[in-house]
Chains A and B, each alone.
Chain A
Amino acid sequence: MPRYRICYSKHGPARYISHLDLVRALERALRRAGLPVAYSEGFNPHPRLSFAAPLPVGSEGLAELVDVETTAPVARRELAGRLNAALPRGLSVREVTEVPENAPSLMAALDSAGYIVHVDAGDLPACPPADAVRSFLALDHIEVTRRGKDGQEKVRDIRPGILDLKMLSVDGDLILELRLKTGSAMNVRPEEAVEAFLRHAGLAVDRADLRITRTGLFAGDSVLSKQPG
Chain B
Amino acid sequence: MDMNKLVEKALNRVQKPGRYAGGEWNAVRKDWHNTGVKMAFAFPDVYEVGMSHLGLQILYSVVNGRDDALVERVFAPWVDMEEQMRKTGLPLFSLESRKPLRDFDIVGFTLQYELSFTNILNMLDLAGIPLRSAGRERGDYPLVVAGGPCAFNPEPLADFIDAFVLGEGEDVIHELLDACLEARRRGEGRRELLLRLAGIDGIYVPSFYQVEYNERGLVQSVTPVVAGVPARVKKRVVADLDKVHYPTRMIVPAIEPVHDRAMLEVQRGCTRGCRFCQAGVIYRPVREKEPETLLRQAEELLASTGWGEISLTSLSTSDYSRVGPLIGALAEKHGGAGVNVSLPSLRVDAFSVDLAKEVQKVRRSSLTFAPEAGTQRLRNVINKGVTEDDLMEAVTAAFAGGWHAIKLYFMIGLPTETGEDLEGIARLAHRVLERGRGLVKAKGRLKVTVSVSSFVPKSHTPFQWEPQNTLDELRRKQEFLRARLRGRGLVFNWHDPESSFLEAVLSRGDRRLAASIEAAWRRGCRFDGWSELFDLDKWRAAFAETGIDPGQYAYRRYEYEDVLPWDHIGAGVSKKYLVREHRRAVAGEKTPDCRGGKCPGCGLCPALEIRPRLAGGESVAPLQDLLQ
Contacts and interface: CB of A to CB of B under 8 A. Distances in A.
B17 A45 contact: no
Contact of B306 (A12, A27, A43, A89): A27
Contacts of B256: 20-21, 24
B152 to A, nearest CB: 36
A4 B478 CA distance: 58
B217 interface: no
A51 to B, nearest CB: 17
Given A18-B18, A88-B23, A209 B9 contact: yes
A20 B255 CA distance: 9
A77 interface: no
Contacts of B304: 32
Given A28-B25, A32-B304, A45-B338, A58 B254 contact: no
Interface in B217-254: 252, 254
A16 B24 contact: no
Interface residues of A, number: 29
B628 interface: no
Contacts of A39: 338
Q: Chain A at the B interface: mostly helix, strand, loop or mixed?
A: helix
Interface in B230-286: 252, 254-256, 260
A28 B255 contact: no
A30 to B, nearest CB: 8
Interface string A83-124: 000111110000000000000000000000000000000000
A208 interface: yes
A17 interface: yes
Interface string B360-403: 00101000000000000000000000000000000000000000
A88 B251 CA distance: 10
B13 A28 contact: no
Given A13-B254, A88-B254, A31 B306 contact: yes
Contacts of B255: 17-18, 21
Interface string B18-38: 101111110100000000000
A32 B303 contact: yes
Interface residues of B, number: 28
B306 to A, nearest CB: 3
Nearest to B251: A88
Nearest to B255: A21
Contacts of A21: 18, 254-256
A25 B17 CA distance: 16
A215 B362 CA distance: 43
Contacts of A90: 23
Given A21-B254, A27-B308, A14 B17 contact: no
Nearest to B24: A88
B211 interface: no
A167 interface: no
Interface in A13-54: 13-14, 16-18, 20-21, 24-25, 27-32, 39, 43-45
Nearest to A87: B25
A43 B364 contact: yes
Contact of B11 (A16, A25, A30, A43): A16
B492 interface: no
Interface in B1-56: 9, 11-13, 17-18, 20-25, 27
B202 to A, nearest CB: 35
A72 interface: no
A88 B21 CA distance: 12
A195 B92 CA distance: 32
Given A12-B23, A16-B18, A58-B17, A25 B254 contact: yes
B307 interface: yes
Interface string B168-208: 00000000000000000000000000000000000000000
A123 to B, nearest CB: 9
Contacts of B11: 16, 58
Contact of B254 (A17, A27, A30, A44): A17
B12 A208 contact: yes
Q: Chain B at the A interface: mostly helix, strand, loop or mixed?
A: loop
Contacts of B12: 58, 208-209
A45 B335 CA distance: 13
Given A20-B256, A21-B18, A39-B338, A28 B23 contact: no
A57 interface: yes
Given A28-B306, A29-B306, A16 B338 contact: no
A90 to B, nearest CB: 5
Nearest to B25: A88
Contacts of A86: 306
Interface in B289-312: 303-308
A13 B260 CA distance: 20
Listed residue (A12, A28, A30, A209) with the most chain B CB atoms within 10 angstroms of its CB:
A28
Given A14-B254, A20-B256, A31 B308 contact: yes
Contacts of A208: 9, 12-13
A14 B22 CA distance: 9
Interface string A183-226: 00000000000000000000000001100000000000000000
Listed residue (A12, A16, A21, A28) with the most chain B CB atoms within 10 angstroms of its CB:
A16
Listed residue (B11, B20, B337) with the most chain A CB atoms within 10 angstroms of its CB:
B11
A140 to B, nearest CB: 33
A106 to B, nearest CB: 24
Nearest to B26: A88
Contacts of B13: 208
B1 to A, nearest CB: 9
A43 B362 contact: yes
Listed residue (A27, A30, A57) with the most chain B CB atoms within 10 angstroms of its CB:
A57
Interface string A50-75: 00000001100000000000000000
A18 B304 CA distance: 23
B326 to A, nearest CB: 22
Listed residue (B11, B12, B364) with the most chain A CB atoms within 10 angstroms of its CB:
B12
A28 B17 contact: no
15 contacts: A13-B21, A13-B24, A16-B11, A16-B18, A16-B20, A18-B18, A18-B255, A20-B256, A25-B252, A28-B252, A29-B306, A32-B303, A58-B12, A89-B24, A208-B9
Given A16-B20, A31-B307, A44-B362, 19 more contacts: A13-B21, A14-B23, A16-B18, A17-B21, A18-B18, A21-B18, A24-B260, A28-B25, A29-B25, A32-B304, A43-B362, A57-B17, A88-B23, A88-B252, A89-B27, A208-B9, A208-B12, A208-B13, A209-B9
